[in-house]
A = this chain, B = another copy of it.
Amino acid sequence: MKTWLPICTGLLAAWLAHASPSGWEPLPDTPPVPADNPMTAEKIELGKQLFFDPRFSSTGTVSCNTCHNLMLGGDDARPTSMGVHGLTGPRNAPTVWNSAFHPSQFWDGRADHLEAQAQGPVVAAVEMGMSDLEMAILRVRAIPGYRDAFARVFGGEQPVTVANAAKAVAAFERTLVTPGSAYDRWAAGDKQALTPKQRRGLDTFDRLGCTGCHQPPAFSGPHKPKGHFAVFPFHDGAYVDRFQLRADVGRQAVTGRESDRHKYKIPTLRNIALTAPYFHNGQVATLDEAVRVMAAAQLNIALSDDETSDVVAFLEALTGEFPAMTLPRLPPTLGRSLPVN
């Protein structure tokens, strides 16, 4: 019976969202900020440098931005990411844009916040490939410009620590917000902001109950109750085999619980038109097909071509405005380079 819980919670949330016109909220300009990691301009700049710096991967070639490319949709446009030595992992890189609004991080939600998330890829063998976090920090510490920046931002005897590096990266990531989509303008009162087709798509999206999981404003999982995981795929069907949707056990690998088998954090739909290919394994190449898969796998519904195309139009209305960003200068090693392999 447990397997019904997510869909029931989903339907309830969908009803709640539908019942209240205020359920269609625009994205706030700023996400929640934890009390122990306040945002400052210098910390954000340091985090940005660390985010773009490839020198903390074993080969010196992979930075956060490699898989979460801020010039693209905050992802890497690949089915699964490619880290050091051309190694690939099992999952599709989630977008970093608006990730600060998510109640947990990674597809399986194994990190509660961005500060925890930021540390994972550094030591993942198929991502940045460092043997341990301290090795990465030794490299940061070897660069005078970073030593100075950490001292200014964090103070203390030895400010260049894993925890502080993660705080800086997380602070930067909390600036990666894309408000101002057609949907947001509509939700803020500009009823002309959505085209009639996008508006039909929104209604279809709502009527089908998609908002049960993909709830405004971030269109990721609802925060309260903590129902931000869902079984995917929920229903059987041709898509399951075609796209190997059950090859990955999902959150079960984190908790060991049978009830978490094939459960995933509900991903945001913001900027989804920019982040093909789709799903945890990146096996679905187009947004069109992804919409059909979701209807079939979660709702056991075969959408018509018109419905599909309307929903795609609505999803395209979730593409936000990307903040202008200067390219950071990364502090030099001055006449020497870090050892890489």
Contacts and interface: CB of A to CB of B under 8 A. Distances in A.
Contact of A72 (B273, B285, B286, B332): B332
Interface in A260-318: 273-274, 276-277, 285-288, 312, 316
Contact of A78 (B276, B324, B334, B337): B337
Contacts of A322: 329
Quick one: which of A79, A87, A287, A330 has the most chain B CB within 10 A? A330
- A interface, over-half SS: loop
Contacts of A60: 76-78, 82
Nearest to A81: B61
A324 B333 CA distance: 20
A125 to B, nearest CB: 13
A327 interface: yes
Interface centre among A52, A54, A79, A325 (most CB of B within 10 A): A54
Contacts of A34: none
A287 B336 CA distance: 6
A327 B329 contact: no
Interface of A: 52-55, 59-61, 66, 69-73, 76-79, 82, 84-87, 273-274, 276-277, 285-288, 312, 316, 322, 324-330, 332-338, 340
7 contacts: A54-B76, A55-B77, A60-B78, A61-B76, A288-B335, A316-B335, A327-B327
